[in-house]
A and B are shown apart, each in its own frame.
Chain A
Amino acid sequence: MGWSLIRTYTILVYLFMFLPIVVVVLLSFNANQFGSFPMTGLSTRWFEALWNNDAILRAFRTSIVLGLMTATISTVLGVLASLALVRYKIPGRNLITTLLIAPILVPEVVLAVALLLFLNFLNIGKSFTLLLAGHVIFTLPFVILVVQARLVSIRRDVEEAALSLGASPMQTFFSVTLPLLMPAVAAGGLFAFTISFDDITGTLFWKPGGIETVPTQIFSMLRNSISPEINALGTVIIVLTVGLPLIGVAVARILARRSGV
């Protein structure tokens, strides 16, 4: 009896999580010109409107460029730091770990204000550079946590074998360690990209006038009223953000299998 009660409760929790998302997708195909209920039929007109909306396309381009740059920098920094934390015994390890994940513990608004004011003091005003710096610092802890979790499972002796067979440390890193690390690198990069693509609070503080990312574009569109175009954009983002990690996981699996670990 108790168990079936818990099951029903859990199903309701899942419904609570998914119902709003399903409604967004449903309404994005709505033929009704106000995009509200009742639905009058299926149509792709809102997706066409989206495709012809220059502001949204520009925002997409900005978000993707920003996300890719953030992911690249965060992943490089994160992988190096994780290697140090997992592979070496270092004094003050706990303090360093706390420092590295500190950006998660500081409320995003506070982080946003501090970075904005400090870089402004250094004559770096609201700009793409500021946005990039902010996104890197905000995503770095997540990359480190993900990469560290994966690194623990890679065995050290494979590298030692390569070294004992006469490979230089550089050769060992590029032909043994890095291929083994690829799943961790891919997971970290994907995580950073997704967080950067999704970020809004910090972005609102850092972005210069005239530059919009996808979330800030949606935010400014919401000011007018909720249009079916936003729902269509939501559907595109849902497909991208759910689809991308799934593809990522698949790629990581294939890479992991190929490297034979």
Chain B
Amino acid sequence: MSIEQREARQPWILLTPALTAISLLLIVPLMFIVVYSFWLKSAVGADTPGFYLDNWTEVLTDRFYRDILLNTLKIAAITTVACALLGYPAAYFISRSKGNKMILLLLLMLPFWISYIIRTMSWINILGVSGALNSAMIHVGLIDEPIQMLYNQTTVILGLVHFLLPFMVLNIFVSLDGIDTNLEDAASSLGATRWQGFLQVTLPLSLPGLAAGGLLCFVLAAGTYITPVILGGPPDAMFANLVYEAIIRQLNWPLGSALSLLLLIVLGVLVLIYNRYLGMAQLAKGLG
């Protein structure tokens, strides 16, 4: 074998373990649940292999599933918009501040390292019946009895925003930091106000970061399982809760497969649209 041939083979040897792992533990399992979603659950014993459309008919026509899917997408959309509204000014401040940008960014990323479940549960300490807010309001005489502020859709969204905001800020920051500040100066020297300069120069140039952050927030919010369980009430179930219910509690694996795939397809379409217009490179930038 020549040196060139050996050289050409080396990267594939290095890639083999990772690609094998991804194929065996992600790609093949995904194909497997496609097949599984056409099987039938048996009352006793193993599920019946075959090609039955029952699960898909149920998943696609049952109002219950459709309502929860729509509710999930609504919660994810509100969360994404809230993250953008909170995150954009903060990212702008960090990227344009004269102080140490990296420290400011690191500080905002700090909660990202802190356990998701701890951060979610921490809102109970604040909004719960014996939480900080109720105690404070009783203390100043605003209310006499504690109010239950938890376990509704608003607190689910609050928890999700708290969880996902760092992703949004980081992505917008990466985009804003790459913009030449001379462009804004040029706009103002040509007579634009600061606000006009921002709207017509900076904002359009930072849209890729906003889109990447938005996609991440939306996909992560729509797939969330824990937040609605901890901070929501029974009517606030999201799609992942349905999947858990079907797979772990009812042990209806064919139906659970169909439900998982429906979620994957809906979110996958979004990712594909994103990829078509912006490409994956922006996303990788924000994650690295």
Name A's B-contacting residues (CB within 8 A).
Answer: 2, 6-7, 9-10, 13-14, 16-21, 23-24, 27, 34, 36-38, 76-78, 80-81, 83-85, 87-88, 90, 94, 96-111, 113-119, 121, 133-134, 136-137, 140, 142, 144-146, 148-149, 194, 197-198, 200-201, 204-205, 214-215, 218-219, 222, 226, 230-231, 233-234, 237-238, 241-242, 245
User: Given A14-B107, A20-B162, are A115 and B29 neighbors across the interface (CB < 8 Å)?
Assistant: yes
Q: Give the number of residues in B that approach A within 8 Å (Cβ atoms).
A: 81
Contact between A136 and B111, CB atoms less than 8 A apart: no
* Cβ-defined partner of A234 (8 Å) among B115, B165, B219, B264: B115
Name B's A-contacting residues (CB within 8 A).
Answer: 10-12, 14-15, 17-19, 21-22, 25-30, 32-33, 36, 86-87, 89-90, 92-94, 107-108, 110-111, 113-119, 121-126, 128, 130-132, 134-136, 139, 162, 165-166, 194-195, 219, 222-226, 230, 240, 243-244, 247-248, 253, 256-257, 260-261, 263-264, 267, 271, 280, 284, 287-288
B115: chain A residues at CB < 8 Å are 197-198, 214-215, 218, 234, 237-238, 241
A90: chain B residues at CB < 8 Å are 11-12, 15
* Cβ-defined partner of A117 (8 Å) among B27, B118, B230, B257: B257
Given contacts A90-B15, A117-B36, A242-B113, 11 further A-B contacts (CB under 8 A): A17-B111, A37-B134, A99-B27, A100-B19, A107-B219, A117-B32, A136-B25, A194-B113, A218-B117, A237-B114, A241-B114
Contact between A18 and B14, CB atoms less than 8 A apart: no
Contact between A13 and B125, CB atoms less than 8 A apart: no
* Chain B nearest CB, measured from A247 CB (Å): 12
User: Given A78-B18, A81-B18, A106-B264, are A36 and B26 neighbors across the interface (CB < 8 Å)?
Assistant: no
Sampled A-B contacts (17; CB under 8 Å): A13-B90, A23-B132, A36-B128, A36-B135, A80-B14, A80-B17, A101-B287, A107-B264, A109-B244, A114-B26, A114-B30, A114-B260, A133-B25, A145-B288, A215-B117, A218-B115, A231-B125
- Listed from nearest, the 7 A-B pairs whose CB atoms lie closest are A107-B223, A118-B29, A37-B135, A20-B122, A36-B130, A114-B29, A81-B18
B139: chain A residues at CB < 8 Å are 38
Smallest CB gap from A19: residue in B? B126
Contact between A84 and B131, CB atoms less than 8 A apart: no
Smallest CB gap from B10: residue in A? A88
Q: Determine the distance from Cα of A37 to Cα of B18 in the docked complex, in whole angstroms.
A: 50
Contact between A17 and B130, CB atoms less than 8 A apart: no
Smallest CB gap from B117: residue in A? A215
A222: chain B residues at CB < 8 Å are 117, 121, 230
Q: Determine the distance from Cα of A106 to Cα of B130 in the docked complex, in whole angstroms.
A: 38
A105: chain B residues at CB < 8 Å are 219, 271
